[in-house]
């Protein structure tokens, strides 16, 4: 099993995500599923920039698609919800993208 560590400081999280080309993303609350809390995510690669016209999408538009946000907006929700980011320990020569948001 890979060792993990908990990141809670904005600079640590920004640096970790930046080293992996991670982008802060928020999926807005979805009335369809009865939840009014936004969902924080970090997305990697080109996925955040893909066309979002929902042509051929397998999920209804009401689920609230992810939107790219500034880190300040992402961290406002992060702090308000009392979250931490669990990531794999760095291994020389590898850039593992494993992450999980948890309550502190």
Angle, vertex CA 95, rays to CA 11 and CA 76, nearest 5: 30
| pLDDT for the residue 10 | 98
Pairwise CA distance, residues 15 & 93, whole Å: 17
Name which of 37, 26, 14, 31 is nearest 67 in CA terms: 26
Q: Domains of the chain: which residue ranges? A: 4-103
Instruction: For the chain, 104 residues long, give each residue's pLDDT as a single digit of tens.
Output: 579 999 999 999 999 999 999 999 998 766 556 667 788 999 997 655 555 555 545 545 555 568 899 999 999 999 999 999 999 998 888 888 999 999 99
Tokens of 20: 């992996």
Q: Are 77 and 38 in contact (CB under 8 A)?
A: yes
Residue 1: CB partners within 8 Å, gap ≥ 6? none
């Amino acid at each position: 099993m890979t060792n993990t560590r908990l990141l809670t400081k904005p600079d640590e999280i920004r640096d970790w995500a930046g080293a992996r080309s991670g982008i802060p993303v928020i999926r807005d609350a979805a009335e369809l599923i009865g939840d009014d809390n936004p969902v924080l995510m970090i997305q990697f690669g080109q996925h955040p920039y893909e066309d979002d016209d929902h042509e051929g999408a397998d999920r209804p538009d009401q689920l609230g698609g992810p939107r790219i946000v500034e880190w300040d907006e992402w961290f406002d929700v992060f702090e308000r919800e009392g979250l931490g980011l669990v990531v794999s320990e760095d291994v020389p020569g590898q850039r593992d993208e494993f992450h999980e948001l948890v309550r502190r």
